[in-house]
Chain A
Amino acid sequence: MTEDDDFFARLRADAAPLRYQPDEATLARIRARIQERIAPPPTVAELLAAWFRPLAAAITVVAILAGVGLASIDTGTAAPVDRVEIVAGGETYVVGD
């Protein structure tokens, strides 16, 4: 090793703390930004699907809730018929329990 090489070798060792070393979070952030920028633009079908998917989901939820609501109203108002009494000619006839 020449004297010049030796000088640079020592300088390299002493200059090592000057090296910039980004942390993993920084590297992950840069990678995500790169992926975002190079991702192909969405097609028309994908754009429409993105709009309609939440709309269809909302309509489905409303329909299910309406169905459940109607069913509970029906069951709530109808009186249970367990026993029917029929009076005919002074006699009482009972149908049911």
Chain B
Amino acid sequence: MNDDPLEARLIARVQNGDAEAYDALVSKYLRRVVAIAFSIVRNAHDAEDLAQEAFVKAYQSIGRFRAGASFGPWIGRIVTNLALDVVKHRTKFRHEEIGEAQPAGRRDDAELPALQNDLAARIDAALEELPEMQRIVARLHLIEELEHAEIAAVTGLSDGTVRSHLSLARTKLKAKLADLYD
């Protein structure tokens, strides 16, 4: 349910063909959409491209957007799906590289904003070792500070599955970072 009447009016204007009204929606959600994409793909350039793609895709399907719904979870879901596609493509690509038995540099080098921070770097490395969905859910929860329901909305997972991923991630992170948090 959309509690923001201004946003509801903007969506109605966009649905009536007002492309300029869309800029206000983009401005409201862009920072968060880029951050969600970055949490998943771990590359600033890809995250920015994905955010752009997500907003264009959302605009093209705005006619199907349910009146009264909130735009945030919808655009979050779109960018998450696009980012997961990129991650799957990379995984496939890496498997093919291993199959070819030829060493190759990582194509998806993350641009970590705080590698000089040892503690953050340790946490980042521990998160990277988690299985894919646990890692994504844990990053959205810990770094982007999304709550369970928000993570469920943007990933399309059930609330229970999100909690389960977080619980497993917590156990593993506790073990990996035991020397820091005991």
> Which chain A residues have a beta carbon within 8 Å of chain B's beta carbons?
4, 7-8, 10-12, 14-22, 26-27, 30-31, 33-35, 37-40
Contact = CB atoms under 8 A, between A and B. Distances in A.
Contact of B34 (A20, A35, A40): A20
Interface in B116-159: 117, 119-120, 123-124, 127, 141-145
B112 interface: yes
A12 B114 CA distance: 14
B143 A15 contact: yes
A17 B113 CA distance: 7
A35 B120 contact: no
Given A7-B174, A26-B48, A34 B26 contact: yes
Interface of B: 17, 19, 22-23, 26-27, 30-31, 34-35, 38-39, 44, 47-48, 51-52, 55-56, 59-60, 111-114, 117, 119-120, 123-124, 127, 141-145, 170, 173-174, 177, 181
29 contacts: A4-B170, A8-B141, A10-B181, A11-B123, A11-B181, A12-B142, A12-B145, A14-B123, A15-B123, A16-B143, A18-B112, A18-B113, A18-B120, A18-B143, A20-B38, A20-B39, A20-B111, A21-B113, A26-B48, A27-B31, A30-B48, A31-B30, A34-B23, A34-B55, A35-B19, A35-B23, A37-B56, A38-B22, A40-B19
Contacts of B60: 38
A83 to B, nearest CB: 72
A15 B113 contact: no
B56 A34 contact: yes
A22 B34 contact: yes
Contacts of B19: 35, 38-40
- Secondary structure dominating the interface of A: helix
Given A8-B170, A12-B145, A34-B56, A18 B114 contact: yes
Contacts of B22: 34-35, 38
B170 A19 contact: no
Contact of B117 (A8, A17, A35): A17
Contact of A14 (B31, B34, B44, B119): B119
Nearest to A27: B30
Contacts of A40: 17, 19
A12 to B, nearest CB: 5
Contact of B48 (A7, A12, A22, A39): A22
B2 to A, nearest CB: 21
A11 B124 CA distance: 11
